[in-house]
Structure 1
Amino acid sequence: MKNLTLHTPEGVRDIYNSEYERRLDTLYNLRKCFKKYNYAPISTPTFEYFDTFSREVGSCESNEMFKFFDRDGNTLVLRPDITPSIARAAAMYFSDTDGAVKLSYEGNVFINYHSLQGRLKESTQAGCEFIGDSSVDADAEILTIVVNALKESGLKEFEIGVGHYDIVRGLIDAANLSEDMEEKLVGLISNKNFFGAKELLESAGVSKSLIELFDLTGKILNSPSEWKPYMDKAKKYKKVYDALEYLTKLYDLLNKNKVMDFISFELGMISEYKYYTGIIFTGYSYGVGEPLVKGGRYDSLLSLFGKDSPAIGFAITVDQLMLALERQ
């Protein structure tokens, strides 16, 4: 019989010697970058009440959380995501603050992935949350920090794909599909099966001009000049048009900040996090299958904790960043 005392559970591992030293160096470089942009550090508990990450929050499926009980019978979970914890803390400690609040963090998250996925169930994240500012300038600042933090960590080749929640959502709303067909369409777009998506839209009798606008979801674009030909068609669909206009302003700011060499626009991007409301983004590097960074705008999340305030943030997965640096 296997002696379990000499083994770690599936999905977690020991980190020691030079790898642990490199991890400390990576976290130091990230922390230094966050501080440069005046983000104050905050630490939240490793476990919280289940309601902090419930279905309404939309952070993680219930069956993917590690749950246990305290002595009073309350359901607790190891945090699967740090952003809702920061939102809760901001609502507690900055409830009377009208101005912007800038917070940075680092810590471990725990997701009970299915064993066949072969993914780590414990990983380290570091990130920033910009609370109290709904402007495009705040979005540009966060994306600029992401690019500079990865660069200052020593990463040379990476790409941040930026999308907008209202593009896919606006197109799907305009298509007026049944609930079942809508679910299938979201799945097809998520899996980048754009031929299948077009076929489904045609079979549902969606207008030709709207189907042509759905072409946006299958493209990776570098500047507003590439989505300009779609703007006339988009005028009929306010949500989509406004999102494209917003991304145009965002591009101008990112270009001014000299970070566009690392950014592209993926207009069909969909996130598994249900709390996102505006721009969403994901970062990848060569030779690393999992995202290095995820982030987006979440203007409704803090209201679930009693503070009505817009916010945007990101989390860098340190394990994936270190793998990218090693393979570089």
Structure 2
Amino acid sequence: MRDKQLHTPEGVRDIHCNEALKKHEIQRRIMAVFHHYGFLDVQTPTFEFIDVFSHDSGTIDIKNMYKFFDSDGNILVMRPDITPSVARMMATGYHHENTPKRFCYLGNAFRNIESYQLKLREFTQAGVELIGIDNEDADAEIIAMVIQSLLAVGLKDFQIDIGQAGFFKGLLEEAGLDSKYEEELRMLIDQKNYIAVEELLDSLELDEAHKKVLLDLPKFFGDVKVIEQAKSTTMNKKALAALDRLEHIYSILCDYRVEQYVSFDLGMVSQLNYYTGIVFRGYTFGTGVSIVDGGRYDTLLEEFGHSAPAVGFAIIVDEVMNSIERQHIEINVPSTDTLLLYNRKSRTMAISVADRMRREGMRIEIGMLDRDLDENINYGKKNNIGGIMNFFSLEEVELVNLETEERNTVDVKSLF
């Protein structure tokens, strides 16, 4: 019992002062990019009815959700993914509006994953959803936003891999593969388990040509040239249309001047089967998993009774933080400007000065001078405080620059 009092459960952790400041700054920069693109903040509940994340919606497997009952016997879940929550909100709150909606959000999601995967079970997502537009320009804008967001937090060496769910679905259609096998095949391909993929295809008795195309999906990885190579493998209209769209998206990304951050991975098939068009993931050094996941989901809102195309993404803030730390990227965070000390006689004056300085936008820590000044100097240095104002009398105040250790005594009246 006592051990559990002192420890956090598997997959969650405390975030301490300086790290919390850095996380806040990273989130601020990302959200600023979202706002500059005209996206507006929304918030959805931390827990929802389990129906929002049902199997039919193509979201996270139910076994990976945190589930509990409310007092009325309803099954609730901690949201494992924020996109379905936004889709529900759109369907219930904006169903009479036909104009496009630009939503952005920042919040925590929860997944009850196996402990051996060494992933966080509570993690922060910063994301956007562009609802009501179905064209290449919307897809390209979303990918450009991802890139600008990662650049804004200081990352430079990263890559956005883009795939196309429509290409994969077209290949399955051409092969005559029953849709009931699609989810299993998608999961195996997403896990890069190609031995199991081959065994599954063998059991379905596919002809060698279609089997080879599906097994060769990982080979279609690289620059824009792989799209043309992929076109030679299929005659399916759905698959070819998906590839044409990818080429158009790339052309627009060139207009955004971000093509150097983009590659194509036609073997990318997300386990979230609500994706219907482009799918993409962002990778960088310092983390073994993607730092961004996104794509087009034109049928998800239909699950909530509202038909509208949509495209979006979520940045996993915690993984971005890991990458920034391991790449030794400096994130400047604000610290306390001044430690203001006083005794009983000078308390009223010191509090008045502190209030004025705070109104001017400064960060002021205030406290009774109940220990040696040198101890306060050491405390200030340890906590990156800029300086100390020591109101040791009603007439004079001692100023200490903690960077240079220079000390000056000035008349209190000079502060007013």
TM-score, with normalisation over the residues of structure 2? 0.73
Q: Which residue of 1 aligns with 2:278?
A: 279
Q: Does 2:142 match 1:142?
A: yes
1:117 is matched with: 117
The answer for the alignment partner of 1:262 in structure 2 is 261
How big is the shift at 1:177? 4.3
Larger-gyration structure (1/2): 2
Aligned to 1:35: 35
> Partner of 2:380 in structure 1?
none
CA contact (8 A) 1:213 1:233 kept: no
In structure 1, what residue type is equivalent to 2:35? Answer: K
Distance in structure 1 (CA, Å) of the matches to 2:184 and 2:41:
41
Q: For structure 1, which segment, 7-16 or 23-32, has the greater mean C-alpha deviation from structure 2 after superposition?
A: 7-16
Structure 1 partner of 2:358: none
1:130 counterpart residue number: 130
Task: Assess if the C-alpha contact under 8 Å between 1:190 and 1:270 holds in 2.
Answer: yes
1:290 partner SS: coil
What is the CA distance between 1:279 and its match in structure 2?
0.5
Q: CA deviation at 1:56?
A: 1.2
What do you get for the CA RMSD once the two structures are aligned? 2.3
CA drift of 1:180 comes to 8.8
Distance in 1 between the 2:265 and 2:192 partners? Answer: 11
For residues 241 and 214 of structure 1, do their structure 2 counterparts lie closer, same or farther at Cα, with a shift above 3 Å needed?
Answer: farther
| Cα deviations by residue, 1:202-236 (Å, 9 ceiling, x for unpaired) | 8835253773586354221211x3432443443x2
Residue 250 of structure 1 aligns to which amino acid in structure 2? I
Give, in whole Å, the separation in 1 of the partners of 2:75 and 2:19. Answer: 35
1:174-209 residue CA offsets vs partner (Å, 9 max, x unmatched): 223478976775455334355875787688352537
For CA contacts below 8 A with separation 6 or more, give which structure has more relative contact order. 1
Map of 1:193-208 to 2, 5 A cutoff? 204=205, 206-208=207-209
- SS of the equivalent of 1:56 reads helix
Q: 1:53 & 1:193 partners in 2: Cα distance?
A: 26
**Which residue of structure 2 aligns with residue 218 of structure 1?**
219
The corresponding residue for 2:106 is 106
SS of alignment partner, residue 55 of structure 2: coil
Runs of at least 5 residues in structure 2 that lack an aligned partner in the other structure? 328-416
Conserved in 1, the CA contact under 8 Å of 2:186 and 2:271? no
How far the C-alpha of 1:16 sits from its partner, in A, is 1.3
Which deviates the most, 214-223 or 263-272? 214-223
Compared CA separation, residues 209 and 153, structure 1 to 2 (3 A): same
How many residues end up aligned between the 2 structures? 326
Percent identity of paired positions between Structure 1 and Structure 2: 42
Partner SS for 1:103: strand
Maintained 8 Å contact 1:108/1:124: yes
- State TM-score, norm by structure 1: 0.92
The letter of the residue matching 2:57 is V
**Does the 8 A contact of 1:159 with 1:285 survive in 2?**
yes
Counterpart for residue 51 of structure 2: 51
Structure 1: 5+ residue stretches without partners: none
Deviation at 1:152, TM superposition (A): 0.5
Q: Secondary structure at the match of 1:296?
A: strand
Distance 1:298 1:185, change over 3 A: closer
**Equivalence for 1:71:** 71
Contact 2:133 2:309 in 1 (8 A): yes
Is contact 2:183–2:273 with CA below 8 Å preserved after alignment? no
Question: 1:64: how far off?
Answer: 1.0
Q: Is the Cα–Cα contact under 8 Å of residues 162 and 266 in structure 2 kept in the other structure?
A: yes
Give the 3 Å change call, closer, same or farther, for CA 202–80 of structure 1 in structure 2: closer
Cα deviation, residue 119, structure 1: 1.6
Contact 2:187 2:270 in 1 (8 A): no
